[in-house]
Chains A and B, each alone.
Chain A
Amino acid sequence: MKFVDEFRDPEVINTTADEIRRLAEGSRHYRMMEVCGGHTHAIYRFGLKDILPDNIELIHGPGCPVCVLPMGRIDDGLALATDPNVIFTAFGDMMRVPGMTGSPLEHKARGMDVRIVYSPADALKLAKANPEKHVMFFAIGFETTAPSTALTIMRARAEGIHNFSVFCNHVTIIPAIRAILDSPDMRLDAFIGPGHVSTVIGCRPYEWIAANEHKPIVVSGFEPLDMLQSIVMLLRQLKAGEAKVENQYKRVVPWEGNPAALKAMNEVFQLRPYFEWRGLGFISQSALRLRDSYAEFDAERRFDVPGVRVTDPKAAQCGEVLKGVLKPAQCKLFGKECTPEHPVGALMVSSEGSCAAYFNYEHRKAMASSLAWPA
Chain B
Amino acid sequence: MAGMKSAVVPEGTTPKIRFREPQIEMAHGAGGIASRRLVEGLFAPLLFRSANPSLNDAAALEIGGVRLAMTTDSFVVKPLSFPGGSIGELAINGTVNDLAVSGARPEAIVVSFILEAGLPTEILEAEVRAMAAAAEKAGVAVVGGDTKVVEHGKADHMYISTTGVGAYLPNIHIEARSVRAGDKVLLSGPIGDHGITILLARGELDFEADLRSDTRSGFPLIETMAREAGPGIRWMRDPTRGGVATSLNELARDCGLGIHIFEDEIPVHDPVRGACELLGLDPLHIANEGQFLAVVAPEYADAAFNALCQAPGGEGAVILGEVHPQPAGSVLVTTRYGGSRIVDMLVGDPLPRIC
Interface residues of A (CB under 8 A from B): 1, 4, 10, 13-14, 17, 37-38, 41, 44-48, 50-51, 64-66, 91-93, 95-96, 105-106, 109, 115-119, 122, 125, 141, 145, 224, 340-341, 350-352, 360-365, 367-369, 373
Point out the residue from A45, A96, A116 that lies within 8 Å of B352, measured CB to CB. Answer: A116
Question: Are A122 and B341 CB-contacts (below 8 A) given A37-B355, A92-B353?
Answer: no
- Shortest Cβ gap from B350 to chain A (Å): 9
- Would you list which residues of chain B between 11 and 44 have a CB under 8 Å from chain A? 25-26, 33-34
Interface centre among B26, B326, B352, B354 (most CB of A within 10 A): B354
The CA-CA distance from A360 to B207 in the complex, in Å, is 28
Q: Is B206 a contact partner of A122 (Cβ separation < 8 A)?
A: yes
Max chain A Cβ within 10 angstroms of own Cβ: one of B329, B333, B338: B338
Q: Which of B34, B340, B347, B355 contacts A65 (CB 8 A)?
A: B355
Judge whether B277 and A93 touch: CB under 8 Å: no
Instruction: Give the chain B neighbours of A95 by CB distance below 8 A.
Output: 351
A sample of 18 cross-chain residue pairs with beta-carbon separation below 8 angstroms, ordered by A number, consists of A1-B270, A1-B277, A10-B337, A17-B337, A46-B335, A47-B335, A51-B337, A51-B338, A91-B352, A91-B355, A116-B205, A116-B351, A116-B352, A122-B205, A141-B354, A365-B327, A365-B332, A365-B342
Which of chain A's residues have a CB closer than 8 A to the CB of B335?
10, 46-47
- Do B340 and A50 touch (CB < 8 A)? yes
| Majority SS at the chain B contact face | loop
Check A44–B341 contact: CB distance below 8 A. Answer: yes
B110 within 8 A of partner (CB): no
Residues in chain B near residue A352, CB distance under 8 A: 353, 355
Binding site for A on B (CB under 8 A): 25-26, 33-34, 204-207, 258, 264, 270, 273-274, 277-280, 325-330, 332-344, 347-348, 351-355
Give Cα A364 to B343, complex, Å: 10
Q: Which residues of B contact A51 (CB under 8 A)?
A: 337-339
Minimal beta-carbon separation of B263 from chain A (angstroms): 9
- Tell whether, in the assembled complex, residue B338 and residue A118 are in contact, meaning their CB atoms are under 8 Å apart: no
* Nearest chain B CB to A88 CB, angstrom units: 14
Residues of A within 8 A of B325 (CB): 373
**CB-defined contacts of B332 to chain A, threshold 8 Å:** 365
On whether the beta carbons of B341 and A47 are closer than 8 Å, the reply is yes
Give chain A nearest CB distance to B5 CB in angstroms: 18
Cβ of B278: which chain A residues have Cβ within 8 Å of it? 118
Starting from the known contacts A118-B278, A122-B204, A365-B327, 7 additional A-B residue pairs (CB-CB under 8 Å) come to A4-B277, A14-B338, A47-B338, A91-B355, A92-B279, A224-B337, A361-B342
- Contact yes or no, B204 A116, CB < 8 A: yes
With both chains docked as a complex, state the minimum distance between the C-beta of A366 and any C-beta of chain B, in angstroms.
9
Q: Do residues A1 and B273 form an inter-chain contact, with CB atoms below 8 A?
A: yes
A50 cross-chain contacts in B, Cβ below 8 A: 338-340
Q: How far is the CB of B248 from chain A (nearest CB, A)?
A: 14
B26, closest chain A residue (CB): A109
A47 touches B355 (CB 8 A): no
The CA-CA distance from A367 to B330 in the complex, in Å, is 11
Does the CB pair A362–B337 fall under 8 Å? no
- How far is it, in angstroms, between the C-alpha of A91 and the C-alpha of B206 when the chains are bound? 14
Given known contacts A341-B347, A365-B327, A47 and B340 CB-to-CB distance under 8 angstroms: yes
Given contacts A93-B355, A96-B351, A118-B354, contact A364 B279 (CB under 8 A): no
**In the assembly, what is the distance between CA of A117 and CA of B353, in Å?**
10
Say whether B274 contacts A14, CB under 8 Å: no
Check A92/B351 contact, CB under 8 A, given A105-B26, A364-B342. Answer: yes
B207 cross-chain contacts in A, Cβ below 8 A: 118
| Whole-angstrom distance between the Cβ of A161 and the nearest chain B Cβ | 17
CB-based contact A109/B204 at 8 Å: no
| Contact between A93 and B354, CB atoms less than 8 A apart | yes
A10–B339 alpha-carbon span in the complex (Å) = 10
Knowing A92-B353, A93-B354, A368-B326 touch, does A117 contact B204 (C-beta < 8 A)?
A: yes
In the assembled complex, how far is the CB of residue B327 from the closest CB belonging to chain A, in whole angstroms? 3
A45 in complex: contacting residue of B274, B334, B341, B354, CB < 8 Å: B341
Q: Tell me, in angstroms, the Cα distance from A1 to B351 when the chains sit together.
A: 22
Return chain B residues, CB-CB under 8 Å to A4: 277
B204 proximity list for chain A (CB < 8 A): 115-117, 122
Residues on B with beta carbons closer than 8 Å to the beta carbon of A362: 341-342
Residues from chain B with a CB closer than 8 A to the CB of A141 are 354-355
Q: Which residue of A lies closest to B336 (CB)?
A: A10
**B278–chain A nearest beta-carbon distance, Å:** 8
CA A105 – CA B351 in complex, angstroms?
A: 11
Report the minimal beta-carbon distance from A89 to chain B, rounded to whole angstroms.
10
Nearest A-chain residue to B270, judged by Cβ: A1
Separation of A222 and B56 alpha carbons in the complex (Å) = 40
> Distance in Å from the Cβ of B206 to the closest Cβ of chain A?
6
CB distance from A125 to the nearest CB of B (A): 8
Q: Given A1-B273, A51-B338, A106-B25, verify A368-B352 contact (CB < 8 Å).
A: no
Chain B nearest Cβ from A115, distance in angstroms: 6
Pick from A44, A125, A145, A341: contact of B354, CB under 8 Å: A145
Contact B326 A13 (CB under 8 A): no
Cβ of B273: which chain A residues have Cβ within 8 Å of it?
Answer: 1
Measured CA separation A102–B325 after assembly (Å) = 40
Q: Give complex CA distance A259, B199 in Å.
A: 35
Cα distance A96–B349 in the bound complex, in angstroms: 11
- Contact check: which of A1, A37, A96, A122 meets B274 at CB < 8 Å? A1
Bound: A115/B202 CA distance, A:
12
Q: Is the CB of A364 within 8 A of B330?
A: yes
The residues of A that contact B270 with a CB separation of less than 8 Å are 1
If A122-B204, A364-B330 touch, whether A92 touches B354 (CB-CB below 8 Å) is yes
Choose from B206, B277, B337 the contact partner of A14 (Cβ within 8 Å): B337
| Complex contacts, A351 vs chain B, CB 8 Å | 280, 353
Residue of A nearest to B25 (CB): A109
- Nearest CB in chain A: distance from B68 CB, A: 37
CB A155 to nearest CB in B, in angstroms, measures 15
Query: Which residue of chain A has its CB nearest to the CB of B206?
Result: A122
Residues of B within 8 A of A13 (CB): 337
Cα separation A10 to B264 with both chains bound (whole Å): 10
> When the two chains form their complex, are residues B354 and A91 in contact, meaning their CB atoms are under 8 A apart?
yes
CA distance A362 to B333 in the complex (A): 11
Determine the distance from Cα of A349 to Cα of B337 in the docked complex, in whole angstroms. Answer: 30
Contact flag A47-B348 (CB < 8 Å), given A91-B354, A350-B355: no
Nearest-CB distance from B311 to chain A (Å)? 30
A38 to B277, CA, bound (A): 13
